[in-house]
Structures are given as C-alpha cells and as structure tokens.
Amino acid sequence: MATGKTKVLAVFDFDRTIIDYNSDDWVARLCPGGEPPDWLWEKYRQGLFMECVEELLEYLHDNGVSSEDILKYMTTVPYTDGMKDVLKFINNSKDVFDCIVMSGSNELFIEAALKADGIERTVISKVYTNVGYINEEGRMHVRSYHDKVCKCSADLCKGTLLPEYIRERAQKGVTYKKVVYVGDGANDLCPCKGLGSSDVVMPRKGYKLIDKIKEMESNPTEDNLKAKVIPWERGSEVLAVLEDDLQP
C-alpha cells in the first residue's frame, strides 16, 4: 500500500567509503606472504574485477584458506573514520532517510563487514552488488551482477540501478526530495550524472570520482553534473550534510 511519504535517499558506495579499504585488497592479505601473485594483479588492472576476485578465491582455497576464514577476516576491516556515526544517525532518523549501498564488491564481503560492532544491519534498505555464494564443497564464488551493460563497469552499472530503485519506491508511495550520493570511485560517476539540481554528490577527496568530476568541470558540456558537489574526507563531513536535512 502506498504511504505517500517524501524522504531523503542516502546512497553509499562501500569500498573506501563505508569501509576504509578496498574489500578485495583486504581479503588478498590472506594470501601466502600477505600478497597475491603478480598475475592476479595484472588481471585486476585490466578492469576484470569479478574474474580476478573469483581467481583470488580459488587461489586462497588452494592454499588452505576457508570461506569461514575469509568472512571472519572481513568482519575486521576498518570503517572509514566517522562512518559508523553516519550510519547510526541514519538509523535513528529513518522517518527522514532511506539508505542503500551500491558497490562493485560482492554480497558476502559486504554482509560480513556490516556485522561490525554498533551497526544495525536494518539501517541499509537494499544492497546492490555482485553475487557471492558458497558451494556445497564450501568454496566461495563470485559473479557479476550485470553483464557489461555499460562502459562504466564490466560488472555492475550503478547508473542503471539507482533510477530503478527510485522507481520501485515511487510505486510504493515513497518519493525523494533529495538524493545524497557518497562515493569515491570512477564507477560512481555514472549514477551521479542522472541526479538533479536538488541532489548532492559527495566525492571522497584523493580518489577517482573527484578527479573525474574535475575533468568534467574543466570541459563543460550538457553532460556535466547538475547536482551540488561537496567533497568529503571523513564521515563527520557526510554527517554534517545529512544533518542539514533535519532542519525545519
């Protein structure tokens, strides 16, 4: 049944946004010697991320690292400074905010990391990410959410998924007066292009998304971002932006 509610949608990338690491890099620490072999990094640099992670998981399995070891290790990944406070704030203000995650990681890594102390899993309404599963032999596998639907990513197009989610919520009577998009990577630019003048894009300082935005601003076209751009470094800066939406 439609609720007729108007809210703010907070959208987060996961790696180097909610957590302060790339989750694939974090798991790669479990390789013998703490580093994956060079041939795996070469494939990763080519942008074949899910293929690379699948082979990383096979390599870990062959070297005696179990799926349970991997998931336990993901629960220890550090959160970005202040980001737990951001999630707690949203959870305490769910009458105002909806919160979703859109990530090029995978569901097993994300769900394990969200078991961190002090985080209520229910704060996140939906997670869009690549598929992860454990087979009958106990071996972990991953596969892409999308099959190269967009040049922004070989695995998952956030620019397709964000408007899809907004449409789904509208069908249930929930509309959004503002979208606040918080991310760091080059593949976060695609969904940001579809945002409007009432929305906010928060690119993390020192990462690829802010570089991409600066490139666009130096070559103005009709494709430039319409949303307000507010760079961030720590969760406290994200929290300040969200707190503004509680003001009368």
Active-site residue set: 13, 15
Question: How far is the C-alpha of 153 from the C-alpha of 205, rounded, in Å?
Answer: 21
Question: How far is the C-alpha of 27 from the C-alpha of 110, rounded, in Å?
Answer: 12
Bridge partners, 167 (sequence order): none
Question: How far is the C-alpha of 58 from the C-alpha of 205, rounded, in Å?
Answer: 34
Which segments of the chain are extended strands (E)?
5-12, 97-106, 126-134, 140-143, 174-183, 200-203, 228-229
- 3-class secondary structure, 192: helix
CA separation, residue 137 to residues 56, 61, 62, 67 (Å): 17, 11, 13, 10
